Structures are given as C-alpha cells and as structure tokens.
A and B are shown apart, each in its own frame.
Chain A
Amino acid sequence: MAEETITIEVLRYLPENGAEPEFQSYDVPLRSDWVVLDALNHIKDHIDGTLSYRWSCRMGVCGSCGMMINGEPVLTCAAFLTKYAPGPIRVEPLAHFPVVRDLVTEVTDFVDKLKHVKPWVVREEDKPLEEGEFKQTPAELSDFKSYTMCINCMLCYSACPVYGLEPGFAGPAALALAQRYNLDNRDEGNDERMARLSNDEGIWSCTMVGECSEACPKDVDPAGAIQRYKLAGAAEWWKSFITRKGK
C-alpha cells in the first residue's frame, strides 16, 4: 500500500532571481511522529536541496525554527504534521522580519532591541567575591521565573501587529526580559531601563492585543509583563509629578 502523504507549500524567496516570493509545493510522507521541521528536513535531503531554513535543537529549546504555519507563528519542531492533516500546510518565514532567503529571516533588529533593554543583572557597584553570593528566596524567584523561560524564538514579534506596523517598537520579548530583570531582587537597573523604555517605542506602544502571549511556546506571557511594566511606569510618572509639584 502506498504511503500516505501530505502537501507542504513553502514560500520560497530566491534573491538571485530577483523575483517576488512564491509558493512551491512538496509532497512528504504523513507520519504520526513527524513534525513540520522533519518534513522540511525530508524535502532538503530527498527532494530539493536548495531549500533554506534555520533549525538546531529539534526540541523547543534553541528557538531557531520559528516559522508561520498556516498563518500562525509556531516552532516547527513542535508542530506535528497530523495536526494539519489532510493539508496542505503553508509554511512561510516569520512575519514582520525581512526575508534573506526562503524561510530565513534577518533578525538583527531583534538582537539590537534585546541589547537595548540590558537583559542582565545590572549592579551600581559590583559586590566583592568574598561577600558571597546574592541571596534569593523561592518567593522572590517565583515573581519573575516565568519570564526567564524566553528562548528568543521571536514568535511573539510575528504575532504582534504593533511591531509589524511600527518597527521601532521594542517588542514583546525584549520588554518581558527587561521586566524579568526589573523584578529580580539582585538587579539595580530598573531606573535605567525605565528611562529607556517608558516612551513611544517602549512600553507605551503596546496596545494589548495579547497575541504575543498566545503565540509564546514557553508560556512567558509577555503581554502580562508589559502591562505590569506600564503600571510601574505610570506609578513612576505620578511619583515624579508629585515630587516636582511639591518642590
């Protein structure tokens, strides 16, 4: 009996041809243990070696294989073919990012935004080693632990229409990571981050569509993080307003 197959329609962009991207169809075996990434690897290995895409760990940790599947941003290593049967399955590069080739996007903008929010423990003065480690209770950790799960897969940027419309927006993952360090009791960079992010390209650009949290494969809830950040930003503004008035 012939093996059951499913059609994968891949949006291909070949800059050397100078043409607009167009869909190319491939029939791949429909196996219950195959995810879309397996199908792409099958195409690359057995059907068309010119297909380009990024992947690495195959287990939802590296965040490299995010693509649009039937219009939704997902990790292709976690998207089983059977979920989309009988197909066809449309695979496109992550939305809102420039496309370098086929399914490979240019992500420098995201990396720059990530650096801008200083996603590391900022200290005003380094503590000498002999004073020992920084203490943190489980309750303090639980305050921001979910935000530490971000794998920088950028699915939230593809789900966010604000980022698509206003590319200057810092974006969900960067803001969630900023909040992750703001809430960390070892960090002292809150004021610096607030000065960088309490503006039109930071937290105040978010209109709370909420799709970033829906798309997140690690349940980080960037939408929640940004709303908490906004509340802190508003409180900060009132504090400075009252202090100014009081002077």
Chain B
Amino acid sequence: MESKTGYTLHHPKWHRDAKPIFWWVKRWVYIGFIFRELTSVAVAYSAILMIILYRSVQSGPEAYAQMLECLSHPVMLVINVLALGAVLYHSITWFNLSPKAMVVRLGDWRVPDLMIAGGNYAGWFLISAVIAAAYILG
C-alpha cells in the first residue's frame, strides 16, 4: 500500500534545496568571486584586441592609423579603461593567491608567502619596465 506521507519504511523522504541562480548575491565574498571569474572575459578581450592590433601593424601604416582612430573613439576608450581595470583586478587577485599553490622550499627553509607573491609582482614590474624602456628608447 502506498503511504500518504510519500516515503518508504526506513528511508524517509529527504529534503533537497535547489541552488537558486542568484546564489552568489547573498554574500560579498561570492560576489567578489563571480566578479573575479567575469574578469576573464576582459582578459580574453584584451588578448584578442592585442592580436588585432598586431595584425593592423603588419598590414601597414594605413591600417594601423585606421585602427588607432577606431580605438580613440569615446566608446572604445570607455570599454578599454574598464577592461584595463578588470585585467588589473584579475592579475592582482591571482598573484595574491599564488602562494596557495606554490610551496617553495630551499633546504629546510620554506619561502614565505609574501616573497612568492612578491616574486610575481617583481616579474610583472620587470617585464613592464622592459617594454616601457623599449618604447621610450624607440
């Protein structure tokens, strides 16, 4: 006989909560996490933009000038400033998380987390400085 309560003997009906689509708005930490994940779109956009820019350089001065004109449009400026902010946030959050993944030992000494994250920042600064120097020195 079927039970009115809808569960079988020795096996009660479990209650399961479905995760709502906006589960992440409940806590700031989750909002920050979703935002960090979304910044990947800006990273992909920046990479594609760089490829397009490179192609325009390859195609000659006219194509490059056309590309620069397109990029100087106010809408493009706003998009690129937002993308830059998102890419910076993305890089900084991942650099700060890098000590979680990397445990470096030199003999018995474990390299402190600060030095591992600092190494990433130092590398970032060094590469940026090299690019800036190449640009300034022509």
A interface list, Cβ under 8 A from B: 13, 15-18, 20-21, 71, 95-96, 98-101, 106, 139, 143, 161, 164-165, 207-211, 214, 221, 223-224, 227-228, 230-231
Contacts and interface: CB of A to CB of B under 8 A. Distances in A.
A71 B5 CA distance: 29
Question: Which secondary structure dominates chain A's binding surface?
Answer: mixed
A100 B14 contact: yes
Contacts of B108: 139
A18 B6 contact: yes
Interface in B17-49: 17, 19, 23-24, 26-27, 29-30, 33, 37
Interface of B: 4-7, 12-17, 19, 23-24, 26-27, 29-30, 33, 37, 97, 100-103, 108
Contacts of A139: 108
A161 B25 CA distance: 12
A208 B14 contact: no
Nearest to A229: B101
Contacts of B19: 96, 161, 164-165
A242 B6 CA distance: 57
Nearest to A21: B15
Residue from B5, B17, B26, B108 with most neighbouring chain A CB atoms (10 Å) = B17
Contacts of B26: 71
Residue from A95, A207, A209 with most neighbouring chain B CB atoms (10 Å) = A209
11 contacts: A15-B7, A16-B5, A16-B7, A98-B14, A99-B17, A106-B14, A161-B19, A161-B30, A161-B33, A165-B23, A214-B29
A227 B97 contact: yes
Contact of A209 (B7, B17, B30): B30
A221 B100 CA distance: 9
